[in-house]
Amino acid sequence: MSHFSFLCRTKTAAGTNALEHLPFDLTAMGAQKPMVIMDKSSHLAGLNKPLIRAFKESGMTMGFAPPLPENEDGGTDAAAQFLRSMYTNYNEKGFDAILALGGGPAADMAKALNIAVSLGPEALKGSRITAPLNPLVYIPTGVDTGAAAAGMTVFNNVSFSSPFLAPDGVVIDAKMIIPDDRETLLDYGLRNLAVGCEVHGLSGNPPARAYASTLIELSANVLTALIESGLDTGENLGRVKKEEKAWQWDLVQAAVISGYLMSGRRSLLSLALGREIASRSRISQGQVMAMVLPAILESTAGSGSGPLLLPLAGPDRFSSVPASQQARTAVQLLRDLVNTLHAASGGRLPRTLAEAGWNSEALDDLGHGLIEKDMLTGITPEVINRILTHACDGRPVS
């Protein structure tokens, strides 16, 4: 048996009465007076009301911070001023826990505030976090990157990473979800699928693979439903219909799981490449990650990604493929997905980076730049070049 370790310190509550059970969870954490940090969209949607109702019979006192300032020019100064104000308010009024309601920005602000009130404002200059902070619970209101559920945050251009930054609890409740559009669901479905596949294919860690399997199944089911519903018209890419809200529900859970997987791992290749290429392209991060994922698995996992076929294709298909062909079959399924998305969207979604407007020379420069900035630690330039070359033209590595 090889050595492995896995830590997920977050309690996840999802489904019926998940929000109503939150006061009991806070009591178990030793908290009685939480402060709520919420983003503007949550405020406009009136999500403070169901939260207040959930605490009505608890006997707890709850305080709401003003909605987060918009992240525009000068947003860093506004965020710092907001945090200073909430730090003073938290201490003067005796709050003892933080609830983050919304998306990633709300979670980042809540984590930064928690660092300040637990360790002192000086800790926000870049101190290592080696001890538990005050209780923090994250309540997502839609699909996001998953970083909110991970043990990481960024504040004032300073990055923090520690297991103690992961929320003590995540509460997923249908009445707190703001409907997303199908374009968003498609992007995050692809993103979460790539995270799950990369972790599953490259990790020999059984608990991590178990989480990754669930992440893959949730994401793949939504992507299949989106394809079957049609992706080639503007009407089909609007808000999800009432009967389709289950797609968003699955992806909210998937995003939370992806955050758990990102904690304690090196930077994922698909995430780093997707973030960098999408920031310079007309395509989304999820689309980029889906295009580079097959080459990543072929270049770094090889035959070790054979077990990935089980969550991707199901037990019947998995058992019908010889072990020597399972890795190749799993990667081919991922390429087939990208090709199917291209066809279902009427050619709107590219199959390769070349179709997205990239050439091999530009990708080579990008790969070297990422390595020089230490964004891809432990990966040689030759491997990055091979991945980007094959993602550019769509050819299998072997």
CATH classification of the domain holding 23? 3.40.50.1970
Measured over the CA atoms of residue 56, residue 58, residue 59 and residue 63, the dihedral's sign is: negative
Q: By the 8 A CB rule, do 137 and 103 touch?
A: no
pLDDT of residue 235: 47
pLDDT of residue 18: 94
Split into its structural domains, the chain has a count of: 2
Give the domain-ending residue among 154, 176, 198: 176
Mean predicted confidence (pLDDT) in 168-172: 97
Domain assignment present for residue 6? The answer is: no
**380 and 242 share a domain?**
yes
Give the domain-ending residue among 135, 160, 176: 176
Domain assignment present for residue 45? The answer is: yes
Pinpoint the alpha helices (H) of 241-284: 245-262, 269-278
pLDDT digits (tens, 9 = 90+) for 112-163: 999 999 999 999 988 889 999 999 999 999 998 899 999 999 998 898 999 9
pLDDT of residue 74: 41
3-class secondary structure, 139: strand
Domain assignment present for residue 3? The answer is: no
Domain assignment present for residue 2? The answer is: no
**171 and 190 share a domain?**
no
Domain assignment present for residue 309? The answer is: yes
- Domain ranges, residue 299: 182-393
Query: What is the pLDDT confidence band of residue 265, given thresholds at 50, 70 and 90?
Result: low
**251 and 368 share a domain?**
yes
Q: What angle do CA 2, 290, 270 make, to 5 degrees?
A: 50
pLDDT digits (tens, 9 = 90+) for 176-234: 999 888 899 999 999 999 999 999 998 888 999 999 999 999 999 999 999 988 786 55
pLDDT at 249 over 60: yes
Dump strand ranges (E) for 218-347.
none
Instruction: List CB contacts of 108: < 8 A, sequence separation 6 or more.
Output: 147, 148, 153, 154, 155
How far is Cα 314 from Cα 325, in angstroms, rounded to an integer? 15
pLDDT of residue 273: 92
**165 and 224 share a domain?**
no
Closest to 136 in 3D by CA, of 15, 260, 25, 257: 25
**73 and 130 share a domain?**
yes
Give the domain-ending residue among 176, 199, 216: 176
**162 and 199 share a domain?**
no
> Model pTM greater than 0.85?
yes
pLDDT of residue 382: 85
**53 and 142 share a domain?**
yes
Determine which of 56-70, 91-105, 182-196, 374-388 has the lowest per-residue pLDDT on average.
Answer: 374-388
pLDDT digits (tens, 9 = 90+) for 38-84: 999 999 999 999 999 999 989 899 999 999 987 644 457 888 999 99
pLDDT of residue 239: 63
CATH number for the domain spanning 284: value is: 1.20.1090.10
CA 327 to chain centre: 25
Domain assignment present for residue 5? The answer is: no
pLDDT at 3 over 90: no
pLDDT digits (tens, 9 = 90+) for 275-321: 999 998 889 999 999 999 999 999 988 778 899 999 999 999 999 99
pLDDT of residue 371: 74
Q: By the 8 A CB rule, do 13 and 170 touch?
A: yes
